[in-house]
Amino acid sequence: MPKVFDKDNFTGEVLESKTPVLVKFWAPGCHPCTMMNPVMEEAEEKYAGRAIIGQINIADNLSVAAKFGVMAVPTLILFKNGQAFKEKVGYMDIDELDESFGRLF
């Protein structure tokens, strides 16, 4: 199960991580966000040991979403060394996720 981030643990778990972290920004009621859940679970297995896979509910953590300019969901942001490294917006299957992010871990 992907990690769950919030405003209280985001800095420590994501920005201070020595391992790359792929974060799905999502919101309740977002169908494409829900469709991404199995993709994120598959990514977690596929990239075990190379990346941390997690998610954050923007409805409960608006300050984090605003800090990174998240305007639509789902938004996936790869964080490396405390910085937002790459971003993609919208649903993607595991092949698209791998193409967009997999080589960066």
Give the active site residues.
30, 33
3-state secondary structure string across the chain: CCEEECCCCHHHHHHCCCCCEEEEEECCCCHHHHHCHHHHHHHHHHCCCCCEEEEEECCCCHHHHHHCCCCCCCEEEEEECCEEEEEEECCCCHHHHHHHHHHHC
Residue 62 amino acid letter? L
